[in-house]
Structures are given as C-alpha cells and as structure tokens.
Structure 1
Amino acid sequence: METSFIIIIILAYFFGSISSAVLICKILCLPDPRFFGSNNPGATNILRIAGYKIAIVVIMFDALKGAIPIWLGYYLVMMNPKFLGITAIFSCLGHMYPVFLKFRGGKGVSTAFGSISAMNYDFFLIMISLWITIILISRYASLSAIVTASVVPFYTWYFQYQYLFAIIVISTLIVTKHIPNIKLLWIKQEKHIWGNKNKKAIHNDKKSL
C-alpha cells in the first residue's frame, strides 16, 4: 500500500511538470511564455499573449494537473488526508519546478485550486470566490493569488484541519513564487490582468521573435 502511495505522489510531480502554457503556445505558433511578457508560463501571461479563450484552456489543464492525482489517490488506493495533502504539494511542485522545463515553471495557483477542489469542493468554492473578488476589485492577478494564499491556511485551520500542513506548504510556495510581483506591487509597477497590451502590439512582438 505504501508503494502505491509513493507511485501516486511521484506521478503527481511528473504530471504537474507538463506545462500546458508552453505546449499550447507551441501548437498555436505563439511566443514562448517563458520569454515573453512576464516570462511566466501561466494563465495570466497567456491571457496577455493569446486572449481569454486560450487562457481558460490553460487554467483548466493546470487545474486538472492538481485534481487528477488526488482523484487517483483517493479512488484507487484510498489515500488518507495526509497523503492526499502530500500529493497536492507534489502536483504544485511539478508545476512550479517542472523537470521537463529545467525547473522553470509557473506559480502554481491553478494547480493548487485543482488539488483543493478534488480534496474538498466547499473549500475550493471559498478560495475561488475570494480570488475572483480580489481580481475584480484590484485587477491584479498576483495580488489576488497572494491574498488568497495568505488567508486560506486560517480557513483550513478552522474547518479542514486535516489538510493544514499541505495548505501551509502550498500557500508558502505560492507566495514565494510571487515575491517579484510583491516588489512590483510595492513600487506600483505591477501590470493589471487586462488592459496592458493590445493585440496589435502582441502581434508585432511575435513577429520580432
């Protein structure tokens, strides 16, 4: 049984290492998100590069990277909350530090949402509601992720204590990944999630690559 747990956890990391942002951009002949815009292979950068439809596809794929290992762990080997939490951590680590991209990955927000939705759907609704509310108010995707990651451990401690360790680790990873954004927010140079670059400019940048 322990071997099955270890296999699921390892698979979670390797599955998390598959970058949907990079793959989709290659398929559509779009700029590599690692070397364009914010240089982050994540949905926010894809939104600026390719528009909201492609960004939604990236979000869904990245969320599934977090959810599928949790489903496999629960339904195939009946993982307990401790191992489900560790699986979620490794899914996020795969996305953030992917072995297939020389450990240069995204910031893990969508993958974390996917993992949490699979562990507890009510928990996910709380997180996504807070995340969307902050984005609508501030228009900063980074600020929304930072605040949500900072608040969610307190909710976990009160309502889902069995996942507290995993959530603290994931939240810490997300905030750490956003340190450059925190610096930009502090000096008021962070870009909003929309309205920063028009399609014509993106097209010109694409031609120059």
Structure 2
Amino acid sequence: MIYALLFLASYLVGHINPAILVSRWRRGIDIREINSKNAGTSNVTMTIGYRWGIFVLLMDILKGLVPALIVRLVYPENDILWFVSGLGAILGHIYPVLYQFKGGKGTATFGGVLFATVPLYAVGLLLLFALVLYLTDYIALSTLVAIVLTPIVLYLMGFHWISVLLMLVFSFISFSKHFENYRRIWNKEEVGLRKFHRNKDQIRVEKNTQ
C-alpha cells in the first residue's frame, strides 16, 4: 500500500507542469502546439527565451528531487521506495491526467530524481550532459547518454534490481519520446539549440532592416 500511495503522491507533484503554465501566462499559448510541441524546458527556451527556460528547468528538477528526497529521508534503507516515488513524479510530468496525458519528456524531472538518490553521480552526469550538448548542440543526444548510462551505473552501484528496473522503464519511455528527434538527427534534419537561436536572430535582423 505504501508503494502505491507514494507513487500517487509523487505523480500529483509531477503533474504540475510549469512549461504549460508559463506559456499560457506569458504568451497566452499552449506550448504543446508550438515548435517541437513538447511541454518542457527546451521548447520553452526556444519559444519564450532562456530566462523562462531556466525557470521551467529548475521547477521540473524540483518536481523529481523533492518527492524522492523526502522518501529517501523517511525510508533511508529502502531504495525501491525512492525510485517508486521518483518514477511517479516523472510519469506525472510525462502523462498528466488533467492535461489529457500530454506533458513533457521527463528529462529534467529524471535529473531531479537522480540528485535526490545518487547526488554525486547526478553531478557527474550533469557535466557529461552539458559536454555532449556543447559538442553536438542536440539535447536529445545528451538525454540518450543519460538514459543509457544511468541503469548501468545504478546496477554497478549495488542498488536493488527493482530500482534499476524502474529507471530502465523511464529509459525506454524517454527513448520512445525522443525517437523522432533521433530520426531527424540521423537524417540531418534536426535543428540544434544554438542553430535555432541563430536562425531566430537572423530573422529578427532581416525584419528590422526591411
């Protein structure tokens, strides 16, 4: 029973989607209908700007960090509960019932769960994530590295196999959510984060000179 209750409570926390709320408040739009149509950090950054993208990123991280950290403090010997709570928050972000089950892709919330459960690894993974993003300009590739590496590292660190399996479930979901990104990257059709903003700046300059 405690597993189900913690999962549900964390799902409700993850259900709060700052990307949807911010886009409606700042622009009067549904972020799920603009650009990549994803209710997450990258789309907010591309659509509204870096400042609000950073805000959404922090809020999405906290959605995963806070529930998992509370559970870890209350049940320090039961890592399965930590990841049950964490997965609940992630799935609440990806499949929010009040938003017709159309949320974000869960990467930032996943990061928050790792900061709560394996903080040293999370710091190292964040640096690796940033490095891959810098080298490739694709958030999807940074995410791919994270979702492949994490279950392996958790297994090697001696976490319960169920905890590893729970994070592996997210890895498969995340891969399916990013599949179109990977296809476009393979076909050289994906627009990277820096290139997107360079294109926006170029369009802005052209409009100002007309």
Instruction: Flag whether TM exceeds 0.5 (same fold).
Output: yes
Q: After the TM superposition, which residues 86-97 of structure 1 pair with which residues of structure 2 at under 5 Å, given as runs?
A: 86-97=84-95
CA distance in 2, matches of 1:79, 1:8: 16
Q: After the TM superposition, which residues 146-161 of structure 1 pair with which residues of structure 2 at under 5 Å, given as runs?
A: 146-161=144-159
CA distance in 1, matches of 2:25, 2:165: 38
CA distance in 2, matches of 1:60, 1:121: 16
CA distance in 1, matches of 2:58, 2:180: 25
Q: Is the 8 A contact 1:14 1:99 kept in 2?
A: no
CA distance in 1, matches of 2:105, 2:8: 20
SS of the equivalent of 1:40 reads coil
Corresponding residue for 1:169? Answer: 169
SS of the equivalent of 2:112 reads helix
Alpha-carbon offset, residue 194 of structure 1: 2.5
Q: After the TM superposition, which residues 48-59 of structure 1 pair with which residues of structure 2 at under 5 Å, given as runs?
A: 48-59=46-57
Corresponding residue for 1:206? Answer: none
TM-align CA RMSD: 1.9
CA distance in 1, matches of 2:84, 2:107: 16
Q: Is the 8 A contact 2:65 2:116 kept in 1?
A: yes
Alpha-carbon offset, residue 83 of structure 1: 1.2
**Paired amino acid for 1:153:** P
Corresponding residue for 2:179? Answer: 179
Q: After the TM superposition, which residues 124-135 of structure 1 pair with which residues of structure 2 at under 5 Å, given as runs?
A: 124-135=122-133
Alpha-carbon offset, residue 75 of structure 1: 2.9
Q: Is the 8 A contact 1:107 1:174 kept in 2?
A: yes
Report the more deviating stretch, 136-145 or 28-37.
28-37
CA distance in 2, matches of 1:33, 1:182: 21
The equivalent position to 2:140 in structure 1, one of 139, 142, 153, is 142
Alpha-carbon offset, residue 181 of structure 1: 0.9
Q: After the TM superposition, which residues 68-83 of structure 1 pair with which residues of structure 2 at under 5 Å, given as runs?
A: 68-76=66-74, 80-83=78-81
Aligned pairs, number: 200
SS of the equivalent of 1:38 reads coil
**Paired amino acid for 2:27:** C
Given the two structures, how large is their TM-score scaled by the length of structure 1? 0.88
Report the more deviating stretch, 121-130 or 104-113.
121-130
Alpha-carbon offset, residue 29 of structure 1: 2.3
**Paired amino acid for 2:189:** Q
Q: Spell out, residue by residue over 1:84-110, the C-alpha distance to the aligned partner (whole angstroms, 9 max, x if none).
A: 111111111111111121001111100
**Paired amino acid for 1:122:** L
Corresponding residue for 2:207? Answer: none
Alpha-carbon offset, residue 152 of structure 1: 2.0
Would the alpha carbon gap of residues 185 and 91 (structure 1) be closer, same or farther in structure 2, given more than 3 Å must change? same
Would the alpha carbon gap of residues 69 and 79 (structure 1) be closer, same or farther in structure 2, given more than 3 Å must change? farther
The answer on 1:121 being equivalent to 2:119 is yes
CA distance in 1, matches of 2:16, 2:63: 8
CA distance in 1, matches of 2:144, 2:110: 13
Would the alpha carbon gap of residues 79 and 91 (structure 1) be closer, same or farther in structure 2, given more than 3 Å must change? farther
